[in-house]
């Protein structure tokens, strides 16, 4: 009997082991084939005039060799689709207000926003307005994408199948609409205007002026405040796609600088750039690549769905981007005509609203079946009434949105002209053909350095764009756009460097109302500390500067905290920790966690009794709105908003700091336990790199890049920003680190927090991530010799027989 049981158990165990082995064997075969895409040999690409060679290095970075730029751009579309088609398709749906076709109801909010703003409308208008040269390059790009879609369906990425996405042909419209989506994501002050008006409604103009965003150009040092608030307006309740930030929207930050030959070890100019985006979904936003023709040799990064390079270096020039925060959006309080439906008033004149209908297809439970979600968009001469879509206010009024993009259709020349620039002057001219509000930091091979500003910012003759402007008559509040020659910028300054960190860069006497919305001063202040030091620097020095975690905001604020917290025995230990801190946001240090926690609780207590919980959270989630302001207000221990109106005593700054410290001890003990040795920055300040097809944190360890302690903070050059209402999980990071030394003929320093491939289980999905985390030097290749030395794959793209005839 015992032998029978033993034999039965043995058979069960063997059966289990055989089954497991079979599953593992089949899984191995499946994994080897699921990403089996052509990297060597020969493939046909319709439209080519000559064959194109695509060399890939050991990280899968492609270097495209073509005999002319059009063929290079055509091949760019092909290889981008080969590696990132799932990402491209998702971006196409997102930009056109078609996300609900993929996600169902969760995508409706985003779709409504993009339809109301008019991104597809702008795309259609831009197609008709394209000049001949740009059209050639965009058409070449989509030909490459479509050639891949038509011929390589058997190697489509796994995510396309999981999401039931069947890619259709790309068009010029798709590329241009995606470009407007990026432009919209860079147009960052809409949220600030809504918050400003809500604060006026809540506390009145006098207190609102004490809270309103101010900005500082650290090179000037004088705080600039918005025009005084007034009570004229309509009380708003913020909700819906415009009243609440939409998840998935792109928000651009960034650092960028350049040093002259006089400050460079190599004797040539050096360019540095690290754009800040939510790049946690693998493989990241940017696609590293090279484009090489007889007229152009370039290496850098492309975005999915865009021809050319967003950041890059050629033989003659190099450029990087940041968000300039140029204010290209204004809100208006419109008066509806009570006598006529769908009319509004300009003074006493009644004007009919323009009305259009948008139909959003919503994915249903049954495959291939869609519901319809209809959206009515009403517009005044200034733009669509966003208050029809989730902003509640008095029935007499409406809020319209005016975006300069609608008034400069056809002026954008795209990124390809950047590749063709031969010097700093020509690069500046190319930047002038870009309508998105971006700073461009630039260098050339002659040693020139410059800061240019792209975008179309209106000349405001009424209001300053800081809050909604009430329409009183038919006079236009804009008078055209700021001429490109008058946009902010500098060239070859005496100090030997140029740079910005989304901060105010305007001189004190700048004549235009360019913007009231800029980043805080802290990151740029650290750039100044590093670059103003005497001596020369190397590319490797600048690589480390991008990873710098010195917190200059903490350096200024901690003395005030120490003064307050050392006066109470319960909080004195926190003061002692802060007193010994070197102000580096190191994940193994306790002080950064204590500082960030106390500071967060302090600002919450400062505002919540006056603004209420919902509006306080909304304002504090917009860091640029309040960070510079609260630092200046903290210099006054008796500022009236430090008083908690819910108590009988009058609180001061120091009182709130002590209370915030007690709040911190309670919250950290709840989250981390009573052992204070565990209270270190990296225990809560983490970053998670998610799978492109299962973008949830729980799956990151198996399908993504994993979760790690994160150094830095929102105030350091190595940026690790977290949402105020979700402390301290990092959202915005260095989506790219890029250093180009114009003296180096072989390579640039570059890394992304992911990889080149968007294919799940492909090694190139995240093979640059550990390099990004460690700060190890990593290169993308520039010279033929360097590219050849690191060659792993070679694919020849050849014209079809019809093309050859």
Task: Report the relative pairing of strands 329-336 and 469-470 from DSSP bridges.
Answer: parallel
Taking the C-alpha atoms of residue 668 and residue 672, their distance in angstroms, rounded to an integer, is 6
How would residue 23 be classed by pLDDT, with cut points 50, 70 and 90?
very low
The separation between the first and the last C-alpha atoms of the chain, rounded to the nearest angstrom, is: 82
List C-alpha distances in Å: 633 to 193, 212, 603: 21, 12, 11
Partners of 645 in the β-ladder: none
Give residues with Cβ within 8 angstroms of 659, minimum separation 6.
601, 605, 651
Taking the C-alpha atoms of residue 512 and residue 327, their distance in angstroms, rounded to an integer, is 11
Angle between helices 613-620 and 190-203 (to 10 degrees): 150
Taking the C-alpha atoms of residue 798 and residue 782, their distance in angstroms, rounded to an integer, is 24
Pair of tokens at residue 664 = 């911190």
How would residue 392 be classed by pLDDT, with cut points 50, 70 and 90?
confident
Question: Which among 8, 546, 581, 557 is positioned nearest to 275, based on CA atoms?
Answer: 546
223 Rama class: left (phi>0) / alpha (psi -120 to 50) / beta: beta
Distance of CA 175 to the CA centre of its chain: 19
Mapped onto helix, strand or coil, the DSSP state of residue 459 is: strand
pLDDT of residue 84: 97
Give residues with Cβ within 8 angstroms of 635, minimum separation 6.
none
How would residue 799 be classed by pLDDT, with cut points 50, 70 and 90?
very high
pLDDT of residue 804: 60
List C-alpha distances in Å: 114 to 185, 299, 429: 11, 32, 30
Whether residue 30 has pLDDT greater than 60: no
pLDDT of residue 442: 98
Average pLDDT over residues 277-300: 97
Span 168-216, pLDDT tens digits: 999 999 999 999 999 999 887 889 999 999 999 999 999 999 999 999 9
| Number of neighbours of residue 545 by Cβ within 10 angstroms | 20
Span 311-355, pLDDT tens digits: 999 999 999 999 999 999 999 999 999 999 999 999 999 999 999
Q: Indicate the range of 469-483, 588-602, 695-709 predicted with least confidence.
A: 695-709
Pair of tokens at residue 383 = 């733009």
Taking the C-alpha atoms of residue 649 and residue 683, their distance in angstroms, rounded to an integer, is 37
Average pLDDT over residues 513-523: 96
pLDDT of residue 247: 45
Distance of CA 389 to the CA centre of its chain: 25
Q: Indicate the range of 230-244, 534-548, 607-621 predicted with least confidence.
A: 230-244
pLDDT of residue 366: 81
Task: Report the relative pairing of strands 449-453 and 438-444 from DSSP bridges.
Answer: antiparallel
Partners of 302 in the β-ladder: 287
Q: Indicate the range of 7-21, 247-261, 561-575, 622-636 predicted with least confidence.
A: 7-21
Span 248-272, pLDDT tens digits: 445 567 999 999 999 999 999 999 9
Query: What is the full DSSP assignment across 714-743?
Result: TTSSSB-EE-TTSTT-EEEEES-EEEEETT
Contact in structure between 391 and 381 (CB atoms under 8 Å): no
Mean confidence (pLDDT) of the chain? 93
CB under 8 A, 24+ apart: contacts of 691-695: 691/281, 691/282, 691/760, 692/86, 692/87, 692/159, 692/281, 692/282, 692/283, 692/758, 692/760, 692/765, 693/86, 693/158, 693/159, 693/162, 693/163, 693/760, 695/281
Span 124-164, pLDDT tens digits: 999 999 999 999 999 999 999 999 999 999 999 999 999 88
H helices of 406-511, where?
Answer: 416-420, 424-431
40 Rama class: left (phi>0) / alpha (psi -120 to 50) / beta: beta
pLDDT of residue 552: 98
- Please report where in the chains the tokens 């901690």 appear, as a residue: 558
Span 437-454, pLDDT tens digits: 999 999 999 999 999 999
pLDDT of residue 234: 59
Pair of tokens at residue 502 = 């989304």
Residue with the bigger pLDDT between 395 and 199: it is 199
Q: How many distinct helices (H) and strands (E) make up the chain?
A: 26, 33
How would residue 232 be classed by pLDDT, with cut points 50, 70 and 90?
low
Average pLDDT over residues 575-595: 98
How would residue 17 be classed by pLDDT, with cut points 50, 70 and 90?
very low
- Please report where in the chains the tokens 């290889």 appear, as a residue: 79
Contact in structure between 198 and 238 (CB atoms under 8 Å): yes
Whether residue 22 has pLDDT greater than 60: no
Residue with the bigger pLDDT between 242 and 671: it is 671
Contact in structure between 167 and 160 (CB atoms under 8 Å): yes
Contact in structure between 233 and 468 (CB atoms under 8 Å): yes
Q: Indicate the range of 62-66, 511-515, 694-698 predicted with least confidence.
A: 694-698
Contact in structure between 89 and 95 (CB atoms under 8 Å): no
Average pLDDT over residues 698-725: 95
Taking the C-alpha atoms of residue 107 and residue 124, their distance in angstroms, rounded to an integer, is 22
pLDDT of residue 246: 47
Taking the C-alpha atoms of residue 728 and residue 428, their distance in angstroms, rounded to an integer, is 40
Would you say how long the chain is, in residues?
805
How would residue 8 be classed by pLDDT, with cut points 50, 70 and 90?
low
Q: Give percent of the chain with pLDDT exceeding 70.
A: 92
pLDDT of residue 248: 42
| Number of neighbours of residue 471 by Cβ within 10 angstroms | 23
Contact in structure between 755 and 282 (CB atoms under 8 Å): yes
Taking the C-alpha atoms of residue 619 and residue 196, their distance in angstroms, rounded to an integer, is 9
Bond into 728 cis (ω within 30): yes
Taking the C-alpha atoms of residue 218 and residue 329, their distance in angstroms, rounded to an integer, is 25
Q: Residue 597: is it exposed, middle or buried by C-beta count within 10 angstroms (0-12/13-18/19+)? A: buried
Q: Residue 70: is it exposed, middle or buried by C-beta count within 10 angstroms (0-12/13-18/19+)? A: buried
Query: What is the full DSSP assignment across 553-598?
Result: HHHHHHHHHHHHHTTSTTTHHHHHHHHT--SB--TT-SHHHHHHHH
| Number of neighbours of residue 112 by Cβ within 10 angstroms | 24
Whether residue 652 has pLDDT greater than 50: yes
pLDDT of residue 391: 80
> Which of 28-42, 151-165, 226-240, 451-465 has maximum average pLDDT?
451-465
Segments making up each domain of the chain, as ranges: 552-731
Span 732-781, pLDDT tens digits: 999 999 999 999 999 999 999 999 999 999 999 999 999 999 999 999 99
Span 210-219, pLDDT tens digits: 999 999 999 9
Give residues with Cβ within 8 angstroms of 801, minimum separation 6.
none
Task: Report the relative pairing of strands 270-274 and 255-259 from DSSP bridges.
Answer: antiparallel
392 phi/psi in degrees, rounded to 5: -90, 130
Whether residue 486 has pLDDT greater than 60: yes
pLDDT of residue 747: 98
Average pLDDT over residues 551-570: 98
Give residues with Cβ within 8 angstroms of 175, minimum separation 6.
138, 141, 142, 305, 306, 307
Partners of 336 in the β-ladder: 344
Taking the C-alpha atoms of residue 595 and residue 602, their distance in angstroms, rounded to an integer, is 10
Question: Which among 436, 361, 326, 406 is positioned nearest to 120, based on CA atoms?
Answer: 406
Average pLDDT over residues 388-406: 90
Contact in structure between 457 and 402 (CB atoms under 8 Å): no
Task: Report the relative pairing of strands 793-798 and 297-302 from DSSP bridges.
Answer: unpaired
Taking the C-alpha atoms of residue 240 and residue 238, their distance in angstroms, rounded to an integer, is 7
Residue with the bigger pLDDT between 406 and 14: it is 406
CATH superfamily assigned to domain 552-731: Aminohydrolase, alpha-helical knob region (1.10.1400.10)
């Amino acid at each position: 009997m015992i032998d029978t049981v033993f034999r039965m158990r043995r058979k069960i165990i063997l059966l289990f082991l055989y089954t497991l082995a079979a599953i593992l064997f089949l899984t191995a075969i499946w994994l080897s084939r699921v990403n089996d895409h052509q990297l060597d040999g020969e493939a046909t690409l319709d439209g080519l005039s000559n064959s194109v060679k695509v060399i890939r290095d050991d990280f899968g970075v492609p270097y495209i060799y073509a005999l002319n730029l059009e063929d290079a751009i055509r091949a760019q579309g092909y290889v981008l689709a080969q590696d990132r088609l799932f990402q491209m398709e998702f971006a196409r749906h997102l930009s056109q207000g078609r996300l609900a076709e993929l996600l169902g109801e969760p995508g409706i909010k985003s779709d409504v926003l993009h339809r109301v703003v008019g991104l597809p409308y702008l795309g259609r208008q831009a197609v008709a307005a394209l000049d001949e040269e740009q059209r050639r390059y965009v058409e070449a790009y989509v030909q490459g994408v479509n050639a891949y879609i038509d011929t390589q369906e058997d190697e489509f990425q796994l995510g396309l199948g999981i999401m039931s996405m069947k890619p259709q042909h790309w068009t010029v419209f798709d590329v241009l609409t995606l470009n407007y989506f990026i432009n919209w994501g860079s147009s960052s002050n809409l949220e600030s205007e809504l918050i400003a008006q809500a604060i006026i409604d809540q506390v009145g103009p006098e207190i609102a002026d004490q809270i309103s965003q101010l900005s500082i150009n650290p090179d000037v040092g004088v705080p600039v405040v918005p025009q005084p608030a007034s009570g004229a307006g309509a009380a708003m309740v913020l909700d819906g796609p415009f009243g609440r930030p939409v998840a998935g929207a792109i928000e651009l930050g960034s650092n960028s600088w350049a040093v002259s030959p006089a400050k460079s070890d190599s004797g040539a100019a050096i360019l540095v750039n690290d754009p800040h985006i939510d790049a946690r979904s693998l493989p990241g936003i940017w696609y590293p690549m090279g484009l090489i023709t007889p007229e152009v040799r370039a290496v850098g990064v492309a975005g999915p769905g865009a021809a050319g390079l967003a950041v890059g270096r050629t033989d003659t020039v190099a450029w990087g981007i940041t968000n300039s925060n140029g204010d290209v959006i204004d809100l208006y309080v419109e008066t509806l005509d009570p006598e006529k439906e769908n009319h509004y008033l300009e003074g006493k004149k009644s004007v009919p609203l323009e009305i259009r209908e948008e139909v959003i297809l919503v994915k249903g439970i049954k495959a291939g079946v869609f519901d319809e979600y209809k959206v009515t968009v009403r517009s005044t001469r200034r733009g669509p009434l966003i208050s029809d879509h989730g902003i509640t206010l008095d029935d007499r009024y409406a809020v319209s949105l005016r975006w300069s993009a609608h008034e400069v259709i056809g002026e954008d020349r795209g990124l390809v002209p950047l590749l063709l620039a031969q010097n700093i002057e020509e690069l500046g001219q190319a930047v002038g053909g870009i309508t998105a509000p971006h700073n461009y930091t630039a260098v050339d091979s002659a040693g020139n350095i410059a800061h240019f500003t792209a975008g179309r910012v209106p000349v405001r003759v009424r209001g300053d764009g800081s809050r909604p402007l009430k329409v009183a008559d038919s006079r236009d509040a804009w008078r055209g756009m700021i001429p490109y020659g008058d946009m902010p910028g500098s060239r070859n300054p005496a100090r030997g460097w140029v740079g910005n960190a989304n901060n105010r860069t305007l001189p004190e006497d700048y004549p235009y109302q360019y913007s009231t919305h800029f980043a805080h001063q802290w990151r740029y202040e650290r750039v100044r500390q590093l670059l103003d030091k005497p001596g020369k620097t190397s590319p490797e020095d600048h690589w480390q500067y991008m990873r710098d975690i010195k917190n200059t905001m903490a350096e200024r604020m901690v003395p005030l905290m120490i003064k307050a917290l050392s006066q109470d025995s319960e909080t004195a230990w926190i003061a002692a920790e802060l007193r010994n801190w070197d102000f580096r946001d190191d994940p193994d240090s306790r002080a950064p966690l204590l500082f960030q926690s106390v500071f967060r609780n302090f600002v919450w207590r400062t505002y919540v009794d006056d603004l209420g919980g919902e509006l306080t959270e909304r304002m504090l989630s917009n860091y640029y709105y309040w960070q510079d302001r609260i630092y200046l207000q903290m210099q006054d221990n008796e500022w009236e908003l430090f008083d908690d109106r819910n108590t009988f005593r009058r609180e001061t700054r120091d009182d709130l700091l002590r209370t915030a410290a007690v709040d911190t001890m309670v919250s950290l003990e709840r989250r981390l336990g009573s052992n204070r040795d565990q209270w270190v920055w990296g225990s809560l300040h983490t970053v998670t790199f998610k799978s492109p097809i299962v973008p949830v944190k729980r799956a990151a360890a198996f399908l993504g890049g994993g979760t790690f302690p994160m150094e830095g903070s929102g105030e350091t050059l190595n940026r690790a920003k977290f949402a105020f209402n979700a402390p301290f999980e990092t959202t915005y990071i260095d989506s790219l680190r890029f250093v180009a030394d114009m003296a180096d003929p072989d390579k640039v320093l570059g890394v992304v927090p992911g990889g080149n491939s968007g294919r799940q289980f492909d090694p190139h999905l995240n093979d640059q991530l550990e390099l990004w985390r460690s700060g190890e030097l990593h290169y993308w290749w520039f010279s033929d010799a360097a590219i050849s030395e690191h060659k792993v794959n070679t694919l020849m793209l050849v014209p079809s027989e019809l093309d050859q005839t």
